[in-house]
Amino acid sequence: MLALFGLMGVAMSAIVMLDTDEASEPTDDGIADEDDPSIEIEPIDELIDPGDANTVIFSGALDDIVLTGAGNDYLHGEDGDDYLASGAGDDTLQGGRGDDVLVGGAGNDLLNGHIGDDVLSGGAGDDALNGGSGDDVLMGDAGDDALLGSLGDDRLVGGAGADTLHGGSGNDILYDRGDEDADYLNGGTGNDVLMGGAGDNLHGGTGADTFALLHGNDVFVEDFDAGQDVIEITYEGALPLLRTAETDDGLVLFADDAIVATFPDLADLDVTRIVLIAT
């Protein structure tokens, strides 16, 4: 069942019901009445509403496609493998059950995948993404975004802006190398892979984590555990010479003369255990 309403304070739009077994007719005021047994609802599984009204949509049990325009919209996929995409505005998208795709568009959006293996894309704006249970893919895109993988083996990509990536539980991959903004990556529990860019703070969390760094990366690694964590350095050209030096900021790892990482809480580091990867 899909219903489309105007938000409080905005003129109500026509109600559309999705995924029912009966056809419907509107009431005299043009609004369908779900509680009237004489009304039949026409089942559909696609809604395209390019208008700029604030709308609320519940899409029901089928595999639905819902596209909205400008306005601060609320889209809920409920059951099924749904595709929900909102336009400009500060929108809320809830995937519900099923393997859903949520696309926020422009604006400061909230995207929750809930149950299933979901794909979430925040679009432009300062967005908050939560994958929920399942093996999810979260992409913040432009803006200062907050990404939480929650349960499952998730893939988090920050994009442009000062982002916060938290893997949650599971063996996650966190990537945010596409800009020079200061990002924060936290793997959470599990055996995670963290790939940050210049000025980023990396926190592996519990588990055997891999800090995948670049020659001249200049990141901060907050909780490296030499007993179980791994450092990888990708480089071009000749094999780099690795060395460390103590500074006021902590132990600094160099590849040739370029800073790769600073370890604020580390007293020493065996550079022979670092994995070098040529490109």
Q: What is the mean pLDDT of residues 22-40?
A: 40
Q: What is the mean pLDDT of residues 72-76?
A: 95
Q: Provide the mean pLDDT of the chain.
A: 87
Percent of the chain with pLDDT over 70: 83
pLDDT band at 107 (very low <50, low <70, confident <90, very high): very high
Least confident of 26-40, 83-97, 190-204, 243-257: 26-40
Residue 27 in this model has a pLDDT that exceeds 60: no
Do residues 166 and 188 touch, judged by C-beta distance below 8 A?
yes
Q: What is the mean pLDDT of residues 140-146?
A: 97
Which residue did the predictor score with more confidence, 147 or 32?
Answer: 147
Distances (CA, A) of 71 to 7, 92, 245, 255: 10, 11, 54, 50
Distances (CA, A) of 6 to 15, 51, 52, 67, 89: 9, 12, 11, 15, 15
Residue 155 in this model has a pLDDT that exceeds 50: yes
Which residue did the predictor score with more confidence, 152 or 23?
Answer: 152
Domain ranges of the chain: 1-125, 167-279
CA-wise closest residue to 17 among 29, 26, 8, 9: 26
Q: Rounded CA gap, 229 and 239, in Å?
A: 22
Residue 43 in this model has a pLDDT that exceeds 70: no
CA-wise closest residue to 221 among 209, 206, 203: 203
pTM for the predicted model, two decimal places:
0.84
Residue 120 in this model has a pLDDT that exceeds 80: yes
pLDDT in tens, 189-216: 999 999 999 999 999 999 999 999 999 8
Do residues 134 and 115 touch, judged by C-beta distance below 8 A?
yes
Residue 34 in this model has a pLDDT that exceeds 90: no
pLDDT band at 15 (very low <50, low <70, confident <90, very high): very low
Residue 231 in this model has a pLDDT that exceeds 80: yes
Residue 179 in this model has a pLDDT that exceeds 90: no
pLDDT in tens, 52-72: 778 899 988 899 999 999 999
Residue 22 in this model has a pLDDT that exceeds 80: no
Q: What is the mean pLDDT of residues 255-270?
A: 96
